[in-house]
Structures are given as C-alpha cells and as structure tokens.
Amino acid sequence: MIMEKKNPCIVMVPSPGLSHLIPLVEFAKNLTSFFLHHHKIDNLHVKLLIPTLGPPSSSMNSILNTKSLPPNITFTLLPQVNPQDLNITDAKPQPATLMQLAVKQSLPFIHQQLTNLTSTNHYHLVSIVFSLFSTDVIHLAKEFNLLSYVFFASGASFLSFCLHLPHLDEQQQQQHDDDDESFLFHHQFTETNGNNGVHIPGCPVPFQVQDFPAPVLYQRSSQAYKSFLGVCREYSLVDGVIVNTFTDLESDAIKAIEDQAKTRNNNANSPFVYPIGPLIQTATTNQVNRLECLTWLDNQPPKSVLYISFGSGGTVSQEQLNEIAFGLELSGNKFLWVLRAPNSFGGSAYLKEQKEDPLHYLPSGFLDRTKGQGLVVTSWAPQVEILAHGSTGGFLTHCGWNSILESVVYGVPMIAWPLFAEQSMNAVLLKDVLKVALMPEKAEDEDGIIKREGIANVIMRIMEENKEGLEIRKRIKEFSDAAAAAAISENGGSSAEAFLSVAEKFKSRI
C-alpha cells in the first residue's frame, strides 16, 4: 500500500488588527510562490488561525476574500473573544493589552486546530509564524515540535527597543527594588537635568519619554506594562524574527539586533533577524471609494495632492479634526482626506469598526468651501493606488509601519502625525534619522492641539517647490530606489537573501 505524501503546512497566527494581518498575508503569498518557483514544491499549505475581537470588519473580509488568496492559503476565524471576558484590570486598557489577551484566550482553539492538522494524514506541520502580540503561541510550537518565528510588522528600530526593554526593566529592579514605577517614569524626571533621552541599540538618535508606547509608561505592576514586557521577553526564545523592513532603511538597528543575538546565543552562526521587506499590498481588493478617489486624482496636476489618512483605526478629537479642516482650507493646497469620526483616543477605531457618518463632524460649510480644492471620503480609501498615483505629492500619516513602507516604496514625502502605539518612535525615525518627513509644531498650551496655522505651514513646506521640500523628495526617492533593489524578486536583493535564508529553514523541516 502506497502512503500518500503529506502536504507541508506552515501555521500563521496574526494578532488582532489589520496592520498585523495584511503584511502576514502578503508574506504567506510570497512564501507559497517562492516554494513553487524555486523548489517546485506546489503543495506547501499556509493556514492562518485568526484571533478576533468582535465580528470581522468589511476591510478584513476583503483581505481574506478567497478570490484574492491562492488556493493553498486558507484561514480559520477563531471564535470571537468578548473584551468583557479578558479580565482587564487597568482602568484604560491599551490596544496592545487587548490583543495579547485575546490571543491568550484563543490558545485552546489554536491548540485544537493544530491537533486537527497533525491528526490527519494530509498535513505535515513545519512551523508557526506569529505576530507581534501573539507570542503566547510559542509554547504550542514547543509542544508540537515546530519552528517558531515572530513576524514583526513594525520596523527594526522598534524591534530593537522591544528586545532591549527586558534589560532596562532589570536595571530598574536593581536600582529601585521596591519602586513600582517603570524605568521611563524615572527617566522623565532626569531629562530636564541635562539628560539627552533614552538610547536604544542601533538607533542613531535618542528618544524622549513621550515617544515610547503607552504601556511602558505605566507602573511596573500594571497589566499593560507586565503584558508588554512579557511579550518582549518571549522574543528571545524564538528561532528568529522576520521583520518587514530592509537593510538600507534601518541598517544600524538590524546590525544591533544581530549583535545582541550573537551575544545572547554565544556567537551562534544562524541569523536571528530576517529583514524581508518591504512587503506591501500591490493592489486593494476593497472597492469602497476606489473609483471616486482614482477618477478625482486623474484630473489633478502632477504631485499636487496631499493625501491624509490615519490608517486602519486612527482617530483625532473633534477639536483637532476642526483644526485639520481649517488648516487644509487655509493652505489652499489640494487634498484627498480619508475621514473618520472623531474620538479623543487616537486608536479608538483600531479594534472596533465605526458605524457613524464622519461627514457630520466637519465644520459647517467646509465641503462647500473646498469643493474645487479637495475630496473627502469616509473611513476607507485605496491607499496603495493613491500613493502610486502621479498626482499625489505628499502624505499626512499616522506613522503606522505599513503606511510608512507604502509611502517609501512610492517615494511620497510625509507629514508625520503619530497617534498611539509605536508611532511616535516611527515619527522620530522618519524626521530625524531618515529625514523624509516633517512634523507640525504643537501649540504651547497644554491641550496638545495642533493649530490650523501650523498645519497650513507644514503642508506648504512639504508640498511647495522650496529647498526643504526638494531635499526631502530627493531623500525619499533614494529610499524608494533602495526599496525596489532590496525587494523580494528574481534580482536577489538584500531582502531576497534574507527571505531565502528563512525559507531554507522551513525547507529543512519539509
């Protein structure tokens, strides 16, 4: 009797949220294509096990549309996790905490799925690849004797911080044994006494306390801090970290991570970090607002339009929304604005789809006054096509990593407007290290609102043919060319080499 050969299978577990799902799906597509064309392996299967907080959004449904996925990439939406069942102890839970706890609560279902896959004669499990906040599945990887890799959907600079955080926490314990404050809490009081900020391995410029993600600013006994620290500690236990970046963009951070890994693992020869980016969507399957946006752009002059979007879940307050509207009006510059209903928390729509009409929150008469100047669309737009369009000359962005990579790939200068998570760290990288973005100045008062005059000023600085704007355009064109050279392709760029290296690790188990 001839035994049927089992299909090799790689399981992928994204964290909740589109910014984690999108690049992981793109990685899966590249992986199956690579094994088919380079190793003639046409039966590699990728199974996505997707933890969910609430029902899937329309954007998630479009990404997981079976028409846009190859037949050997399938997915299972795990049972919805109710946020009320997560045993949240912090008064204001952070999205990072919610995502980590949602994955933790989904572990029994992930275990069952792995058991089902291994108990059939159809699949041979090779590895688990999991997202930034899905590190709890590393214990399942050990139980099922699988390779374990983190797919890090942010940059190498933030990864370096995450790997360095346990060391900083240990220092804090040694220096302030009975103190419940985080190391950054103490640091913020020394900044005024000549301290130059917090230095992270591989980052050429220091970061200020306000640049770091909110969870690490909490007390050390808080759920947010402990959850984030626990995730960072797990990174040192995996077989490697696959990072959606490329060497020319973050060479110092990548080298620092590799050096730390060699020290930690007694100078091991195997790479720890695999920079395989930029992995971005090449086209969007969601047709909402697509025709309207692209038709409008077709009728605008080259490089004349400022595109404004705060990502898949970013929000601003009503007062700040008003100032953005008046700032656009004041600048006189053409714009395409993806509008979302206001909220005082910058990530309020990240894990929960909004139902209300954002247009109701615009200043009275704004749409009439700017009818020939701009286009406002609600909630979603075909971002990749917009950034690739010849009429787009600038991007006001929340500094989410996917948006940054898309802007870099298409050579679009940025106005950095970070809202939450690691976005302020990304903004520092864009403005002070890569020098491909400007930031509007906040007003001196305590409300932190960026006023219309400052918004109009930064728009004109980035969009007009001045020395500053031209220099930024030159810089981002260089990174755009480097991204094309590095990308996973037949040309064998730096990311292609890293991709080949991690693919060979998978192949060794097939």
The tokens 């604005």 sit on which residue?
337
Backbone φ, ψ for residue 157 (5° rounding): -65, -45
- Overall average pLDDT of the 253-271 stretch: 82
The 10s digit of each residue's pLDDT in 374-383 is 999 997 899 9
How many domains is the chain built from?
Answer: 3
pLDDT of residue 82: 84
Q: Is residue 250 in a domain? A: no
User: Do 476 and 492 fall within a single domain?
Assistant: no
- Percent of the chain's residues with pLDDT above 90: 66
Residue 192 scores a pLDDT above 50: no
Q: How many CA atoms lie within 13 A of 472 on its CB side?
A: 28
Contact predicate 406/397, CB 8 Å: no
User: Do 97 and 38 fall within a single domain?
Assistant: yes
Q: And the tokens for 194? A: 């000549």
Q: Is residue 360 in a domain? A: yes
Count of beta carbons in the 10 Å neighbourhood of residue 365: 9
Residue 151 scores a pLDDT above 80: yes
Residue 359 CA: distances (Å) to CA of 322, 339, 379, 395, 411: 12, 8, 10, 21, 30
pLDDT of residue 407: 98
pLDDT of residue 7: 87
Q: Which of 8-17, 55-64, 412-421, 483-492 has the lowest mean pLDDT?
A: 483-492
Q: Is residue 248 in a domain? A: no
User: Do 348 and 294 fall within a single domain?
Assistant: yes
User: Do 65 and 46 fall within a single domain?
Assistant: yes
How far apart are the C-alpha atoms of 447 and 464, rounded to whole Å?
30
Q: Which of 4-13, 110-119, 128-137 has the lowest mean pLDDT?
A: 4-13
Of 200, 61, 213, whose CA–CA distance to 133 is shortest?
213
Contact predicate 288/380, CB 8 Å: yes
Residue 128 scores a pLDDT above 80: yes
Residue 221 scores a pLDDT above 50: yes
Contact predicate 441/454, CB 8 Å: yes
User: Do 264 and 362 fall within a single domain?
Assistant: no
Q: Which of 21-30, 79-88, 374-383, 446-455 has the lowest mean pLDDT?
A: 79-88
Q: Is residue 1 in a domain? A: no
pLDDT of residue 193: 43
The full length of the chain comes to: 510
Q: Is residue 433 in a domain? A: yes
Q: Is residue 335 in a domain? A: yes
Residue 452 scores a pLDDT above 70: yes
User: Do 222 and 111 fall within a single domain?
Assistant: no
Of 277, 222, 221, whose CA–CA distance to 247 is shortest?
277
Q: Please work out, in degrees rounded to the nearest 5, the angle formed at the alpha carbon of residue 136 by the alpha carbons of 118 and 259.
A: 105
Residue 475 scores a pLDDT above 60: yes
pLDDT of residue 95: 87
Of 387, 386, 396, 397, whose CA–CA distance to 480 is shortest?
387
433 or 182: which carries more pLDDT confidence? 433
Backbone φ, ψ for residue 9 (5° rounding): -135, 130
User: Do 233 and 380 fall within a single domain?
Assistant: no
pLDDT of residue 483: 94
Three-state DSSP class for 156?
A: helix
Amino acid, res. 465: E
The 10s digit of each residue's pLDDT in 370-409 is 998 999 999 789 999 999 999 999 999 999 999 999 999 9
Count of beta carbons in the 10 Å neighbourhood of residue 265: 12
- Percent of the chain's residues with pLDDT above 70: 92
User: Do 227 and 131 fall within a single domain?
Assistant: no
Domain residue limits at 459:
290-485
- Overall average pLDDT of the 320-327 stretch: 97
Three-state DSSP class for 178?
A: coil
Residue 177 scores a pLDDT above 80: no
Residue 34 scores a pLDDT above 70: yes
Residue 313 scores a pLDDT above 70: yes
How far apart are the C-alpha atoms of 124 and 118, rounded to whole Å?
7
121 band by pLDDT with thresholds 50, 70 and 90: confident
What's the predicted TM-score (pTM) here? 0.94
Classify residue 510 by burial, with Cβ atoms within 10 Å: 0-12, 13-18, 19+. Answer: middle
Residue 447 scores a pLDDT above 80: no
Q: Is residue 13 in a domain? A: yes
94 band by pLDDT with thresholds 50, 70 and 90: confident
287 band by pLDDT with thresholds 50, 70 and 90: confident
Average pLDDT, the chain: 89
User: Do 308 and 376 fall within a single domain?
Assistant: yes
Q: Is residue 178 in a domain? A: yes
Amino acid, res. 17: G
User: Do 417 and 313 fall within a single domain?
Assistant: yes
- Overall average pLDDT of the 281-302 stretch: 87
How far apart are the C-alpha atoms of 32 and 44, rounded to whole Å?
6
User: Do 91 and 36 fall within a single domain?
Assistant: yes
Amino acid, res. 488: I
pLDDT of residue 2: 45
Residue 459 scores a pLDDT above 90: yes
Element housing 32 (H / E): helix 18-39
Q: How far apart are the first and last CA of the chain?
A: 22
The b/e string for 38-72 (b: 16+ C-beta within 10 A; e otherwise) is eeeeebbbbbbbbbbbeebbebbebbbeeebbeeb
Of 418, 338, 355, 314, whose CA–CA distance to 17 is shortest?
314
Count of beta carbons in the 10 Å neighbourhood of residue 199: 12
Contact predicate 377/450, CB 8 Å: no
pLDDT of residue 323: 97
Q: Where are the alpha helices (DSSP H) in 299-414?
A: 318-331, 366-369, 383-388, 401-409
pLDDT of residue 269: 66
User: Do 327 and 403 fall within a single domain?
Assistant: yes
> What CATH number does residue 14 fall under?
3.40.50.2000
